[in-house]
Structure 1
Amino acid sequence: MKHPILALACLALPTLASAESYENVIRATLQPGWRMADGSHMAALHLELAPGWKTYWRAPGDAGIPPQFRWKRAKGTKSVRIHWPAPEVFHQSGMRSVGYSGSVTLPLRVQLNTTGDSRLKGVIDIGICKEVCLPHRVRVEAVLPAANTNPTPSIAAALADEPYAAEEAGVSNVSCSVSPASNGLTLTAQIAMPKGTGREETVIETANPEVWVGEPKTWWDGNRLMAEAQMAHMNGGAFALDRSRVRITVLGGSMPVDIRGCDS
C-alpha cells in the first residue's frame, strides 16, 4: 500500500516560489449563472488549463492533490454545494489519479436567504499537474443576479455530465464486506449491474475524511462488478466504517455511475 502522506509530499516538491512561474497555466472564473424556481442560485466555477495540464477531482487518488474550497459568503448566502461532472482516470509512473484535463465547469448550487442579488467569493486551493505537480491557489468572485432566470448552457451541460445515479444505471444491489488488514481494513464491494465494457475502474470514498482509501482493484465476476480497496486511518489507529455512507463511483464503462451506500 502506498503511504498517502508520502505520495502527496512527493507531488508537492516544487516550492511556492517556483509556482509563481506557472500563473498562466490555469485561468479561473466564477460564472454568475441563474436564479432557480426554488429560490436557490446555480452558478459555476470554470477552470481553463493550458494544453497538457490537468487538475483533480474531489477524490484525486494517490497521485493527486485534493481540492480545497473556502467560500466567503456575503449576506444572503447560506451554503454552496459543488456538483462534479464525471472525471477522467490518468495513469502515470505506476500511479493513478482522477481529474480533468483541458477545462472543466463545476456547477455550484448556492442556497440563499434573500430574493435579491447576492455575491459569492471563493479561495480555492487545487493541484495542477504536467511534468511536475504543484499546489496552486485561485481567487474568484461574482455577483449572483436575481433577475436572470435563464439557464447558462455551459453550466447546464456540466450538470448533465454528472455520473448517473445507481437506479438510473440499473444497479440492483450493492453488497459490501469488511475484513481486517495488517494496518486497517479491506472493503470488498459486489455491485449487481448491467455488464459493462470490461474497462471499468472504481473510486471508493468514506464519510470520514481522516480515512485513507487505496486504489481499488476492479474486476467482473459474472454479472457483478467487484471492487476491493484497503483503508487505513491517518493516525494509524482503529476506526469504524459506516457502510451505509460508503460512496462508490464507477468510471471507464459505458456510463459513469454514482453509488451511495451499501445495501448490505
Structure 2
Amino acid sequence: MRFTRTLAACLVLASPLAAEEPITAELRPGWRLPNGDHVAALHLTLAPGWHTYWRAPGDAGIPPLFDWAGSENVKDLGVIWPTPRVFWQSGMRSIGYEEELVLPIRIRPRSDGDIRLTTEMQLGLCKDICLPHTLHISAVLPPQTKPDPMIASAMASVPFTKGEAQVGKVHCAIRPDSGGLTLRTEIEMPTSGGAENAVIEPGLPEVWASEPATSRVGNTLVTETRLRHMEGKPIMLDRSRVRITVLGKDHAVDIQGCDS
C-alpha cells in the first residue's frame, strides 16, 4: 500500500544526526487558567530547510507520537495544533511546519500546585532526506497566572471552527471499492482562498486515507478519498468521527463530523 512504501522510504533514508542539529526543543511552562486548567507548549526550532509534520502528515510524512508517562499531577491532557502548511516531496503531499512550531498543550491537573510534565515525542524530520527523531523533554509547571504571548499567539492560529467559517451542511457518501471504501464529501462553505487543500481523518487510527481529489462547485467544496485498513480488514466508518481540515490561502477550517 502507498502509505507503507512512503514510510519505508523515510526510514531507509534515516541516518545519525549530522553536525547540524536539525531541531532543538524546550517546554514553555505557560500559565494556569481561571478554571484550573494549565496551558503550556512544546517549542520546536527547526534548522533552515528542515520541516516536521502535523498530526495527519500526508502520504510523505511521519505522524508525531507522544508518550506522557512519568508526568505528575496530570488528570487529562490535549495537544492544540496550529494551522499547518502543505509541502510537496517527490510529487507527494505532506502537511506540517517549518522554521518554528509552538505546540500548545492544555492540561487538567489532579490538584492545585506544580505539574511535572514529561514527554517522549517521536516525530519525523525532512530536508534532503527524511529521518525519525525522538525528543525527551521534562519540566515543572508552577501555577503562575501570567500568560505567555508566544503560546497565546499559537493558540490563536488554529483553524476556524465550522461556525466561525460559516460552514453549512456537510454530506458524506460512502461506497465500497476494490480495496476498501471511497469517501466523498460535499461541504457547503465559502472559499478559504486560493487553491484549497483538504485533509481527511477517518477517526480510526488503523485506517489510512489517501490524498483527496478536491474541487469546488460554487459554494460547495467536493472531496473524494480512498480509505484502506492497514491490515486489509473491513472498515466500519462512523461519519460522526470523520474530521475534515480545509487549508486555504486566507485561512483554514476544522470540520468535525458529517451531517449526513
CA RMSD of aligned residues (A): 1.2
TM-score (norm 1): 0.95
1:248 aligns to what? Answer: 244
Query: What do the CA deviations read for 1:59-84 (whole angstroms, capped 9, x no partner)?
Result: 00010000010013433212220000
Measure, in 1, the Cα distance between the counterparts of 2:47 and 2:71.
32
SS in 2 for 1:175: strand
Deviation at 1:195, TM superposition (A): 3.0
Structure 2 unaligned blocks of 5 or more: none
> Aligned-pair distance for 1:92?
2.2
Once residues 71 and 7 of structure 2 are traced to their aligned partners in structure 1, the CA distance between those partners, rounded to angstroms, is: 33
Alignment of 1:224-239 (within 5 A): 224-239=220-235
Measured after TM superposition, the shift of residue 248 of structure 1 is 0.1
- Tell me if structure 2 keeps the 8 A contact 1:119–1:144: yes
Counterpart in the other structure of 2:97: 100
Q: Please report how far the alpha carbon of residue 198 of structure 1 lies from its aligned counterpart in structure 2 after TM superposition.
A: 4.1
Give the alignment partner of residue 36 of structure 2, picking from 31, 36, 39: 39
Asked if residue 109 in structure 1 is aligned to residue 113 in structure 2, the reply is no
Contact 2:191 2:219 in 1 (8 A): yes
- Give the SS at the match of 2:12: coil
Match of 1:14 in 2: 13
Secondary structure of 1:154's counterpart equals helix
Contact kept, 8 Å, 1:128 with 1:136, in 2: the verdict is yes
Q: How many angstroms apart in 1 are the aligned matches of 2:43 and 2:192?
A: 31
Distance in 1, Cα, partners of 2:189 & 2:43: 33
Matches of residues 135-146 of structure 1 in structure 2 within 5 Å?
135-146=132-143
Give the secondary structure class of the aligned counterpart of 2:56.
Answer: coil
**How do residues 1-264 of structure 1 correspond to structure 2 at under 5 angstroms?**
3-15=2-14, 18-21=15-18, 24-146=21-143, 148-264=144-260
Cα offset, 1:14, TM superposition: 3.1
In 1, Cα distance between equivalents of 2:155 and 2:17? 33
- The one-character-per-residue Cα deviations of 1:189-208 (angstroms, maximum 9, x if unpaired) are 00001134340000000221
The percentage of aligned residue pairs carrying the same residue is 50
- Give distance in 2, aligned partners of 1:7 and 1:19: 20
- Matched residue SS, 2:203: coil
Amino acid paired to 1:173: K
Q: When the two structures are aligned, how many residues end up with a matched partner?
A: 260
- In the TM superposition, residue 237 of structure 1 has moved relative to its aligned partner by 1.7
Question: 1-side partners of 2:19 and 2:216: how far apart?
Answer: 42
Distance 2:117 2:192 in 1: 41
Contact 2:171 2:186 (C-alpha < 8 Å) held by counterparts:
yes
1:23–1:137 distance in 2 versus 1, CA, 3 Å: farther
Offset at 1:111?
1.0
- Structure 1 residues 196, 122: closer, same or farther in 2, change over 3 A? closer
**In 2, distance between residues paired with 1:73 and 1:116?**
17
Q: Deviations over 1:155-188 (max 9, x none)?
A: 0000000000011001011001001111011100
1:6 partner amino acid: R
Find the residue that maps to 1:11 and give its secondary structure.
helix
Instruction: Report the 3-state secondary structure (helix = DSSP H, G, I; strand = E; otherwise coil) of the residue aligned with 1:12.
Output: helix
TM-score, normalised on structure 2? Answer: 0.97
State the distance in 2 between where 1:135 and 1:79 align: 27
